């Protein structure tokens, strides 16, 4: 009997016109190969006789295919079929593709981010920073990935490419972007009440200079300069705050 060699049993391929090979059998002048979509070979898609131990199929549909070969000599004597092998033909790349940086946040203050990923049918994935970047090495597919952005401030984009077990790749255009800002804003300049000022207003208004690039301000009021237990600790979007009623004191 011939010994089957390729496609290897239980493997995946995206070649829809695969080549089949097997060992040469001493005394054989021809070989009969059958390819079927079931293990009983009741209605084979291919039933061909060839004179050499190789055969290239016509276009096959996606799915699991079984194949078997027997040897025939000049007198018409036939060996038994070698035990059949099977392979899966898949020409469709992974679908339902998604990448999200840091849970969809608009900003990151660190180059270290977490990617959340989705790709139906993927077995591997790889990444790159920006469209002109270099792809990382393919790795086992997962739904999360720690990644390092380029350190340049501003909009940063990460691309992902997925591949399945048959070798089908997505286009690599799946991406997400985030604004990288790792530079702290300047210290605000306090305006009112001025330092050392006395007032009889128990609900004073506090103001300070606006800071370029700041989106929020943290305001604290305390009876001690250590601010270990502030009376007020709040986050504001503008450089002004009017306190509730304060007690007498400094």
Q: Tell me whether the CATH fold assigned to 4-89 matches the one assigned to 95-180.
A: yes
Predicted pLDDT of residue 28: 97
Residue range 118-161, pLDDT digits in tens: 999 999 999 999 999 999 999 999 999 999 999 999 999 999 99
pTM here? 0.77
Predicted pLDDT of residue 4: 98
Q: List, for the chain, all residue ranges whose pLDDT scores fall below the cut of 50.
A: none
Question: What is the distance in angstroms between the CA of the first residue and the CA of the last residue of the chain?
Answer: 100
Predicted pLDDT of residue 250: 85
Predicted pLDDT of residue 213: 84
Using an 8 Å Cβ cutoff, are 3 and 22 in contact?
yes
Please tell me the CATH code under which domain 4-89 is placed: 2.60.40.10
Question: Domain limits of the chain?
Answer: 4-89, 95-180, 190-242
Predicted pLDDT of residue 119: 98
**DSSP of the chain:** -PPEEESPTTEEE--SS-EEEE---TTEEEEEEEEESSTT-SS-SEEEEESSSEEE-----SEEEEEEEEEEETT--BPPPPPPEEEEE-----EEEEEEEGGG-SEESSSEEEEEEEEET-SEEEEEESTTSPPPPPEE--SEEEEE--SSSEEEEEEEEEE-TT--B--S-EEEEEEE--SPPPPPPEEESPTT-----SS-EEEE---TT---EEEEE-SSTT-SS-SEEEEESSSEEE--PPPS--
Predicted pLDDT of residue 249: 87
C-alpha pair distances (Å), 95 with each of 29, 119, 123, 168, 222: 47, 6, 12, 11, 57
Predicted pLDDT of residue 108: 97
> What are the backbone angles phi and psi of residue 65, rounded to the nearest 5°?
-120, 140
Instruction: Classify 95-180 by CATH class.
Output: mainly beta
């Amino acid at each position: 009997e011939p010994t089957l060699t390729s496609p290897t049993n239980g493997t995946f391929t995206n070649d829809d016109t695969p080549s089949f090979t097997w060992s040469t059998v001493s005394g054989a002048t021809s070989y009969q190969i059958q390819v079927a979509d079931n293990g009983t070979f009741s209605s084979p898609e291919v039933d061909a006789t060839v004179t050499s131990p190789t055969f290239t199929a016509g276009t096959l549909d996606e799915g699991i295919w079984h194949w078997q070969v027997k040897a025939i000599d000049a007198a018409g004597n036939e060996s038994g079929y070698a035990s059949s092998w099977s392979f899966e033909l898949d020409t469709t790349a992974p679908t339902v593709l998604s990448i999200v940086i840091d849970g969809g946040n608009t900003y990151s203050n660190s180059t270290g981010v977490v990617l959340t990923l989705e790709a139906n049918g993927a077995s591997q994935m790889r990444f790159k920073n920006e469209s002109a970047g270099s792809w990382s090495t393919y790795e086992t597919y997962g739904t999360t990935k720690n990644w390092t952005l380029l350190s340049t401030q501003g909009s940063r984009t990460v691309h992902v490419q997925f591949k399945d077990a048959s070798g089908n790749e997505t286009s690599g255009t799946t991406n997400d972007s985030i604004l990288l800002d790792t530079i702290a804003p300047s210290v605000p300049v306090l305006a009112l009440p001025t330092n050392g000022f006395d007032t009889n207003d128990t609900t004073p208004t506090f103001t300070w200079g606006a800071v370029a690039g700041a989106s929020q301000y943290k305001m604290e009021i305390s009876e001690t300069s250590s601010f270990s237990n502030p009376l007020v600790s709040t986050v504001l979007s503008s450089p002004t705050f009017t306190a509730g009623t304060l007690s007498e004191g400094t």
